[in-house]
Amino acid sequence: MHLRWEDYPGISYYKDRGFESIELESPSIRNVSEEVENLGEDEYIIIKGCDFLSESPRKFMKRGPELKIPRKVDSPWRYFPKEFKNLTADSHKRGYSWRNKRSNTTIVVPFSSLFDGLKLYVSQRNEIKAKLYHDHDQKVISGKVKSSLKNYSYTVFENVIQKDGKNFFADWLSYNCSCTCEGNLFNRFTSFKYVNPPHFVCKHGFALYEAARKSEEKIYPLFPRPRKKFIECDENLTRVFVKRRYNERLGIGQRNRLDGACLGLLNEKFLQGLSFWQEDGILKYGSLAQD
């Protein structure tokens, strides 16, 4: 099974093994992303006095900015790459989003859902069973995805984008994802004051959709897969710590903020960090599959 974000070792692990520390004093988000990209295998980073990382991680995940995909888009795999190119190393984004026309809600995909969902899919791809059925004029998938730690599974429901659907170009704008995991329940609970609260796509939603694509060739991609270089940047973030009273690991909101900046940095270097069709990410984690 893959490691959850909170399961990675703390700073003492790297100190005890003689890793070299890189200390950054009041850096910009660009400075941090550059150091993260070039981080050596025997190095870790300590960030001191950083204002943009002082915000509550949960507050950032709940209300932070995201890259908004316009409604005029006809299909995500053609247009999303163009939008992702708007990200720079100075960006402060938690992920990307689009509007669901049918329910008038916002669908938010945190960057961490792409990474953790990919790892989850690869480690469980022979166990996740996606059931497809019709709900009025839409095709829906349901399934159970095992928890990374506990001995039970989460139930996920989501729409699929069909190649032969009558409303093919509008289907993805009507997408919804519902999961019983703690992260989704927290996000929905804190959003009750909104008339149409945003829907967050969690790693279980990503993993189930990829499993459905594997079993049904008529399903088009909806979520981009991280390329190898982008995955390496995210893995390097597990060795980034913030200096407060103690050296603390990055929270989920801080991780997503820096993932957005790293993606922007790769864009500036003409390195594509995300793709709908490539298999880099799957190959990267292929050894984790429980075959």
Task: Decide: helix, strand or coil at residue 74.
Answer: coil
The domain spans of the chain are 5-55+227-279, 71-86+96-224
So what's the pLDDT on residue 103?
72
SS3 142: strand
pLDDT digits (tens), the chain, 291 positions: 567 788 889 999 999 999 999 999 999 999 999 999 999 999 999 999 887 787 777 778 777 888 887 766 556 666 777 778 888 899 888 888 888 777 778 888 999 999 999 888 888 888 888 887 776 666 778 888 887 666 678 888 887 766 555 555 456 667 778 888 876 655 554 444 556 677 888 889 898 888 888 877 677 778 888 888 999 999 999 999 998 877 888 888 889 999 999 999 998 888 878 887 666 667 677 644 332
Look up the pTM and report it.
0.85
Q: What is the pLDDT of residue 80?
A: 73
What angle do helix axes 252-268 and 111-124 make, rounded to 10 degrees?
A: 100
pLDDT of amino acid 35: 96
Which whole-number Å values give the CA distances from 275 to 81, 87, 146, 173, 278, in the listed order? 7, 15, 26, 19, 6
What is the spatial distance between Cα 116 and Cα 231, in angstroms, rounded to a whole number? 10
How confident is the model at residue 291, as a pLDDT? 29
pLDDT score at 20: 95
10, 45, 101, 229, 260 from 22: Cα distances, Å: 16, 5, 47, 21, 21
Determine the pLDDT at residue 154: 80
